[in-house]
Amino acid sequence: MIDWFTALQIGVAVTGGILAIVLGALGRRPSDLTMAFAGVVALLLIVQLAVTIAGPLTGNTPTGSLFEFYIYLISAIFLPIGAGFWALIDRSRWSTVILGVAQLAVAIMLYRMGQIWFIQVA
Amino acid sequence: MSTTTPAAVKSRRSGAGRILIAVYLVLALASSGRSFYQLVAKFDQAPVAYTLSAVAAVVYILATIALIAPGPAWYRVARITIWFELIGVLTVGTLSLIVPSMFAHPSVWSFFGAGYLLIPLALPIWGLAWLRRHPESSGA
């Protein structure tokens, strides 16, 4: 895990999450903008997966449990992708809110993953 | 989920009910992932708390399915599981304060779900209120 990259991911997920919840509350259907944020969050998580696989090989190892970290990471990848498919099928304002909920959940999980990698002592 | 027939509009799967289902999905995923890790990696440290953690995960999965699935039988399952969830979060939340040595291990229900922004405490209350206003008889 790379500290600035994690901060970037959390920043994008929180921005996209709040934006989608606000737009959904205003009654907007899923748009290119709200979908794009969820897409970028998913993409960044896949980059994070690559970083996580490469990290221990180059000496960047977690202080906590790598196994627990992977459970969080793989669950997190499903969230924006799942919410995105939901938004494609159900074109209602509620899907916009769900895009937001999924991204905020990813932000919380990334925060927990940061704790496992940098702080937690297993 | 994707139907817009008049019957579906009134069902528990319509409108804000979809957000309820989405939040249940996220909690089901989060709690079962965490519980899986606890059972595999450190069950012996706190068997009681981690068993409850697994029970919580199963309850979230069941409640999510019951909220999505149509029919009066699933409606009853949803009511029962969400009541169980409310009692669970109140009991485990209280016990984690009174007997911290046994229950103060990180689980979805300890400290009333404070580690999950208290969502586990608010969710069953919202869920039961939602089910009350959307009885199965008026839906599909």
pLDDT (tens digit per residue) in A75-92 = 999 999 999 999 999 888
CA pair distance B89, B108, nearest whole angstrom: 8
Q: Which of A61-70, A93-102, B81-90, B131-140 has the lowest mean pLDDT?
A: B131-140
Beta carbons of B22 and A109 less than 8 Å apart: no
Q: What is the pLDDT of residue B104?
A: 66
Give the mutation candidate from A94, A99, A120 for the B interface (greatest B CB count, under 10 A).
A94
Q: Using an 8 Å CB-CB cutoff, list chain B residues near A84.
A: none
Beta carbons of A89 and B1 less than 8 Å apart: yes
Q: What is the pLDDT of residue B60?
A: 94
pLDDT (tens digit per residue) in A26-64 = 999 999 999 999 999 999 999 999 999 998 888 888 888
pLDDT at A10 over 90: yes
CA gyration radius, chain B: 16
Q: Using an 8 Å CB-CB cutoff, list chain B residues near A67.
A: 37, 40-41
Q: What is the pLDDT of residue A25?
A: 92
Is residue B26 within 8 angstroms of chain A, CB to CB?
yes
Q: What is the pLDDT of residue B70?
A: 87
pLDDT band (50, 70, 90) for residue B137: low
Give the mutation candidate from A29, A108, A116, A121 for the B interface (greatest B CB count, under 10 A).
A108
- In Å, what is the CA distance from B130 to each residue of A22, B88, B124? 22, 19, 9
Q: What is the pLDDT of residue A122?
A: 55
pLDDT band (50, 70, 90) for residue A120: confident
Beta carbons of A67 and B37 less than 8 Å apart: yes
pLDDT (tens digit per residue) in B71-104 = 889 999 999 999 999 999 999 889 888 888 777 6
Crossing angle of the two packed helices A32-54 and A66-89, in degrees rounded to 10: 160
> Long-range pairs for B12-15 at CB < 8 Å and ≥24 separation?
B12/B67, B12/B75, B12/B78, B12/B130, B12/B131, B12/B134, B12/B136, B12/B139, B13/B67, B13/B68, B13/B70, B14/B134, B15/A94
Residue with tokens 């069941």: B62
Prediction ipTM score: 0.77
pLDDT at A16 over 90: yes
Which of B19, B33, B41 lies at the smallest CB-CB distance from A101? B19
Q: What is the pLDDT of residue B87?
A: 94
Is residue B15 within 8 angstroms of chain A, CB to CB?
yes
Q: What percent of chain B has pLDDT over 90?
A: 38
Prediction pTM value: 0.82
Q: Using an 8 Å CB-CB cutoff, list chain B residues near A94.
A: 15-16, 18-19
Beta carbons of B26 and A86 less than 8 Å apart: no
Give the B window 91-130 contacts with A, CB below 8 Å: 117
Beta carbons of A101 and B18 less than 8 Å apart: no
